[in-house]
Chains A and B, each alone.
Chain A
Amino acid sequence: MIPEPSKPSRVYFFGTCLIDSFYPDAGLAAIRLIEREGVRVIFPADQSCCGQPAYNSGFPAEARAVARRQIQALREDIPVVVPSGSCAGMMKHHYPTLFAGDKDLPQAQAFSERVFEWSEFMARVLGVQYEDRGEPLRVTWHSSCHALREMQVIEHSKRLLRQLKNVELVELTKEHECCGFGGTFSIKQPAISGAMVNDKVDDIQRTGADRVIAGDCGCLLNITGAGGQRGLPFAGQHLAEFIWERINGG
């Protein structure tokens, strides 16, 4: 057994580029929920993107330059909490590979050890307990591939979701299948990506859920975009924003 890390007094929050541009409410909710546990959150203004888009597209030098800047912006030896399994996976599992043979490899390795996905940090490190004040609601859950396979944090995300007593969770039939986002994949292979996301949307529809909750905003942008184009009524929300809403009676 890995010992549970003790509760830190301060953490960095890495907001991710997608949350910055498309889902700032999710980012703010994630920050507020950490602060609520008595942990001071630092959001360095110099952060931008984890570098994954270039890393997955055949441009490792550009990815490295961007990654280096993040390590610099988040340099103090405190946990880095990331509200995305994909970006956290990049920083935790791929930075050491990306910096192989680079002078900053030791820093990259030390940095990667400080990275936590948000729901894991909340459930495992802080051991949060939530009281649901919302109306009864049926939701479904989408596991992002990197949260599932790289970070392996889905049990933590679901543990948080299950604390919400008035929320009925209806699982997807193919929860472990990719939604087809894959970053630049969605625009490099639009037809395959489109077929994948439309199947995901069908699966969500079958649950009869009003909302799909996820821990990754890339997936959400993809899924709600496809659902929206088909005029379907379900909404998508990041887990942090959803929890913030529920415990405040929304």
Chain B
Amino acid sequence: MAAESFEKNVDRALADAQLRKNFAFAMGNFILKRKAVFSDTEETERLRTLGNAIKQRALSRLPDLLVQLEAACTRNGIRVHWAETPAVANRIVLETIESHAGTRVVKGKSMVSEEMHLNAFLGTHGIEAVETDLGEFIIQLAGETPSHIIVPAIHKNKMQIAKIFHDKIPGAPYTEDVAELTAIARRTLRRKFYEAGIGLSGVNFAVAETGTLCLVENEGNGRLCTTVPPVHIAVMGLEKVVEKLDDLPPLLRLLTGSATGQLVTTYVNLITSPRRTGEKDGPTEVHLVILDNGRSRIYQDPELRQTLQCVRCGTCLNHCPVYTRIGGHAYGFVYPGPIGKILTPQVEGLEKAGELAFASSLCGACEEVCPVKIPIASLLRRLRDESYSGEPQGIVPGRGCKQNLAERLAWKSWAFLNTHPRLNRMVTSLLGMAGDYLPPAGPLERWMRYRTEPEFARKGLHRRAKEEGIADE
């Protein structure tokens, strides 16, 4: 997004005291919960190293694994579709629904479907897609988008949810009782599951060796979406493939522990085929739509490729001092937080989304907890370099879009000064004498919006060291 619109979003978010309170409280809890299940630091470090190795190994063989996954799924009776863009993926989903004359879809939580803007697309074709994850259900009623990739309605408190239910669900009384609110959602959704001809879900991991789709969740809605309707469509980003079934236990431990601070989720679904002859339940058709949307481009660069290790646990959001203060919507794209800052500019291009890479103090809190050790700060720096780069080759769209003479000159002068010691000492001395009279403009004005003017020392360390007789060689 352009710098101005991001700035506006940030100002709006920061001015919303309730929003900041909701986020600070919720993220604080997530941090504590994660800590409780990863209390053994050595063991956690070992596990993160293993998670990193599994994902790196899978990515190093990505094309082969995807072919293997397709073959294994096909053998199991799962129909595999390839989509280069969200538009193609939407088309595939629509055609599948239409081939069954379906009009109603129940959806489990899927960030890839958000990336496709699937609900809106299906709506324009007269198909109702109902979100069945409680958080997604709430924001769908409110007409909003997720503010977090794991807990999409985390920006709402129970009073806000009570009002949404009362306003949007026919016959729902106003209640702030959480159990009652959950019961209302359950009653409303139960009917939708029976009526839907199509169930749609995301995928947490796809196992190439066995053609298994692994899906974790806590509410049981995912299992209903993938077993009750006669047709199940799963959508996934192509980076979700792993080599073998043995990779799942450590990855699940890392994903669940990082995401919600649980040792295991209430439901772990392993889907390997449609209903087989003689089986009494399960969908008669299972489709897998594999989306690229820029991922194969990212894959080409060995450093940027690490972005694709992400398992979408959301713990980098929870630990991010920026996300915690501005919330998910301010980012203006589907994926917020640190992972959004590295992924979105690469997918959408630097012109549209490059500003996100600069919205970080590079504190490294995200990297410290990332279950697959994505070097987020380094990738942010890389995207900053790309934004100003004058070299023509490169895979990130919009490369060099931030180039401008003023900044280039400023950094060139800075470098000149800092490589010419005598001149640098003179300027430092000058600032020591006259620095307090600098006009509060430009960077200094932005600094002074929240702080007093920095006081230059009359004599800098260079001069003081010399005066005090400290050796200089």
A positions within 8 Å CB-CB of B:
13, 15, 17, 19-25, 27-28, 31, 40-49, 51, 53-60, 62-63, 65-66, 68-69, 73, 97, 145-146, 149-150, 176-178, 180-183, 185-199, 221-222, 225-226, 228-229
B450 touches A226 (CB 8 A): yes
Q: Distance (Å) between the CB of B385 and the closest chain A CB? A: 5
A196 touches B365 (CB 8 A): no
Q: Is B424 an interface residue (CB 8 A)?
A: yes
Q: Which of A27, A45, A187 contacts B421 (CB 8 A)?
A: A45
Q: Is B388 an interface residue (CB 8 A)?
A: yes
Q: Mark B1-45, 1 if CB is under 8 A from A, else 0.
A: 000000100110010000010000000000000000000000000
B462 touches A191 (CB 8 A): no
Tell whether A22 pairs with B456 under 8 Å between CB atoms, given A15-B465, A62-B414, A191-B7. Answer: yes
Q: Which of B364, B421, B424 contacts A146 (CB 8 A)?
A: B364
Q: Distance (Å) between the CB of B298 and the closest chain A CB? A: 19
Q: Which of A17, A20, A149 contacts B368 (CB 8 A)?
A: A149
Among B160-168, B204-212, B320-328, the one that faces the other chain is: B320-328
B461 touches A28 (CB 8 A): yes
B415 touches A188 (CB 8 A): no
Q: Which residues of A contact B359 (CB under 8 A)?
A: 189, 192
Tell whether A189 pairs with B365 under 8 Å between CB atoms, given A59-B388, A65-B419. Answer: no
A225 touches B11 (CB 8 A): no
Q: Which residues of B contact A40 (CB under 8 A)?
A: 471
Q: Which residues of B contact A41 (CB under 8 A)?
A: 470-471
Q: Distance (Å) between the CB of A126 and the closest chain B CB? A: 18
B361 touches A197 (CB 8 A): no
Q: Mark B382-426, 1 if CB is under 8 A from A, else 0.
A: 001111110000000000001000000001101101110100110
Among B86-94, B180-188, B441-449, the one that faces the other chain is: B441-449
Q: Is B452 an interface residue (CB 8 A)?
A: yes
Whole-angstrom CA separation of A25 from B459 in the bound complex: 10
Q: Distance (Å) between the CB of A94 and the closest chain B CB? A: 9
Q: Which residues of A contact B473 (CB under 8 A)?
A: 42, 44
Known pairs A48-B421, A198-B450. 20 more at Cβ < 8 A? A20-B460, A21-B456, A27-B464, A28-B465, A28-B468, A42-B470, A42-B471, A42-B473, A43-B470, A47-B421, A56-B381, A58-B381, A59-B385, A62-B414, A63-B415, A65-B419, A68-B419, A145-B362, A180-B321, A192-B325
Tell whether A43 pairs with B415 under 8 Å between CB atoms, given A55-B381, A177-B365. Answer: no
Whole-angstrom CA separation of A191 from B333 in the bound complex: 20
Whole-angstrom CA separation of A190 from B367 in the bound complex: 23
Tell whether A31 pairs with B465 under 8 Å between CB atoms, given A58-B402, A177-B321. Answer: yes
B471 touches A43 (CB 8 A): yes
A178 touches B419 (CB 8 A): no
Across the interface, name the chain A residue whose C-beta is closest to B24.
A199
B451 touches A229 (CB 8 A): yes
B415 touches A60 (CB 8 A): no
Q: Is B431 an interface residue (CB 8 A)?
A: yes
Whole-angstrom CA separation of A42 from B469 in the bound complex: 10
Q: Which of B10, B322, B415 contacts A66 (CB 8 A)?
A: B415
Q: Which residues of B contact A228 (CB under 8 A)?
A: 451-452
Across the interface, name the chain A residue whose C-beta is closest to B452.
A228
Q: Is B279 an interface residue (CB 8 A)?
A: no
Q: Which of A21, A69, A190, A222 contacts B431 (CB 8 A)?
A: A21
B415 touches A62 (CB 8 A): yes
B360 touches A182 (CB 8 A): yes
A48 touches B418 (CB 8 A): yes
Tell whether A44 pairs with B415 under 8 Å between CB atoms, given A24-B464, A57-B384, A190-B450. Answer: no
Q: Distance (Å) between the CB of B364 and the closest chain A CB? A: 4
Tell whether A186 pairs with B447 under 8 Å between CB atoms, given A21-B432, A195-B14. Answer: yes
B421 touches A191 (CB 8 A): no
Q: Which residues of B contact A62 (CB under 8 A)?
A: 411-412, 414-415
Which 8 A-B pairs give the minimum distances between C-beta atoms?
A182-B361, A225-B451, A194-B450, A178-B363, A58-B384, A62-B415, A145-B363, A228-B452
Q: Mark B233-265, 1 if CB is under 8 A from A, else 0.
A: 000000000000000000000000000000000
Q: Which residues of B contact A196 (CB under 8 A)?
A: 321-322, 325, 361
Q: Is B358 an interface residue (CB 8 A)?
A: yes
Q: Distance (Å) between the CB of B51 and the closest chain A CB? A: 19
Q: Is B378 an interface residue (CB 8 A)?
A: yes
Q: Is B466 an interface residue (CB 8 A)?
A: yes
A180 touches B361 (CB 8 A): yes
Whole-angstrom CA separation of A51 from B411 in the bound complex: 11
B326 touches A192 (CB 8 A): yes
Across the interface, name the chain B residue whose C-beta is closest to A28.
B464
Q: Which residues of A contact B449 (CB under 8 A)?
A: 190-191, 194
